[in-house]
Structure 1
Amino acid sequence: MSAILDVQNLSISFGGLHAVDDFHITIEKGQLYGLIGPNGAGKTTVFNLLTGVYKPDEGIIRLDGQDITGRSTIEVNMAGVARTFQNIRLFKNLSVLDNVKVGLHNHFRYSTLEGMLRLPRYHKVEKEMNERAMELLKVFDLDGQADFLASNLPYGKQRELEIARALATQPKLLLLDEPAAGMNPNETQDLMKTIRFVRDNFDVSILLIEHDMKLVSGICEKLTVLNFGRVLAQGDTSEVLNNPEVITAYLGE
């Protein structure tokens, strides 16, 4: 296996505070990887560095061998990184179908003039986008709600729609930010199946931040634990979760 993500010595400070300090991680192609740690440990900051929201003070980020350090969010997305958010960020007043189509625009294009004048290429591309979006919605059993407003979906389905939209960008690496947040146990079980299915059928590696230890232990093959912006432990999931330092810092036992 070769690394889809290789991060070395990643650091960033805000007002003299080291939010992330010497962070390192290697994720192999096809891996399902977890990033855990107490609140304020720096997990979301790491996601923001990986997706170009923040520019690191030090360090290097390689995606599939390509240096993407310091690139813009759009450039990082086009290189193959997509993410979801802890607080769902759908276009609530757009349809379910149109939310997915937003993610397709990097790969299906027509000019402004073609769109304004509804030229043949516009209709051809729109047809292709609709077909691809419906294929993605079928994966999540959302094709029957394609015309619904995104805001009218149940919470768990909104989470799945956000994942479908991220997949529309054809990522190599999918970052999931607390995907189980706000879910009941049944929804979490469904989510675990969905995440496994996505990894197995979309040729994508997955890195997720999560506080639900049942989900983490159930699907993550490897873990990195952050504490105060630094890597506390790294390795196989069961080994890391049984690490005394991790139990003290994170599980509070």
Structure 2
Amino acid sequence: MALLEVNNLSISFGGLRAVGDFNLKIEKGELYGLIGPNGAGKTTVFNLLTGVYKPDEGIIKLDGQDITRKNTIEINHAGIARTFQNIRLFKQLSVIDNVKVGLSERIKYSLFESIFHIGSYRAKEKEMEEEALRLLKVFDLDGEKDILASNLPYGKQRKLEIARAMATNPKLLLLDEPAAGMNPNETKELMDTIALVRREFDMTILLIEHDMKLVSGICEKLTVLNFGRVLCQGETKEVLADPEVIKAYLG
């Protein structure tokens, strides 16, 4: 059984079909790429998978569970986490506090306990602190745990965003153009970070990206979207050599 299975997914906005008859199957542990020209519908697919949009038609299953009509919080609890093309950190919080935000749905205490620092509050805070620090060490960010997220270099902000997503303990990680705005050195570090996530967390990853060097270097399989429809699917090397894919990118 595939970890993610999407069948006949479709959505229209104002009569315009943004995504039509979209099918996708990702096995556990795969690093899968979703590519296509600007406006092809890639981010719309991500928004459908994460509950931002509800499809007009189709079914989304995660690890055998139908999540098609669930909201964003329910889908995150089911096991999907994502990052965004424009980094969305709490920039006036510290590095470690950003990770704690990701942990807050897993390690909980009541509002009453948090106000008066009673009951399980201190034990849960200690657990959260230790888990956040453990994650930061994995991403080599523990040395910057107390600085503001806004003071991190761009590449490390992206790394922190991925660390925060991993704090939710996902089954599937969606990365939305993680290399956007990066220089070549930062892109290389990003590739190392993605490899780290797969290795340390045995993570399944779906990636949107325009950097074809990155895509060809790390993705095992690809789906190409064009005008909201699947143009080509398969092994990365074969897909990137397909004449219709080359035509879609080069016009």
TM-score by length of 2: 0.99
- Tell me the percent identity: 75
Partner of 1:34: 33
Task: Report the Cα offset of residue 203 of structure 1.
Answer: 2.3
* Equivalent position SS for 1:7: strand
Cα distance in structure 2, aligned partners of 1:200 and 1:137: 16
Partner of 2:56: 57
Cα distance in structure 1, aligned partners of 2:187 and 2:248: 25
Instruction: List runs of 5+ in structure 1 lacking aligned partners.
Output: none
Cα distance in structure 2, aligned partners of 1:10 and 1:233: 16
Task: Report the Cα offset of residue 199 of structure 1.
Answer: 1.1
**Counterpart mapping for 1:16-35 below 5 A:** 16-35=15-34
- CA deviation string 1:176-210 (max 9, x = no partner): 00000111111111111110110121122000000
In angstroms, what is the RMSD of aligned CA positions?
Answer: 0.7
Cα distance in structure 1, aligned partners of 2:97 and 2:17: 40
Partner of 2:160: 161
Partner of 2:201: 202
Task: Report the Cα offset of residue 60 of structure 1.
Answer: 0.2
Partner of 2:72: 73
Task: Report the Cα offset of residue 105 of structure 1.
Answer: 1.1
Partner of 2:190: 191
Instruction: List runs of 5+ in structure 2 lacking aligned partners.
Output: none
- CA deviation string 1:7-52 (max 9, x = no partner): 0000000000000000010000000000000000000000000000
* Equivalent position SS for 2:113: helix
TM-score by length of 1: 0.98
Residues 1:182 and 2:178 aligned together: no
The AA in structure 2 aligned to 1:20 is V
**Number of residue-to-residue matches in the alignment:** 251
The AA in structure 1 aligned to 2:197 is V
The AA in structure 2 aligned to 1:246 is V
Residues 1:234 and 2:233 aligned together: yes
Cα distance in structure 1, aligned partners of 2:203 and 2:79: 10
Residues 1:114 and 2:113 aligned together: yes
Partner of 2:4: 5
Partner of 1:248: 247
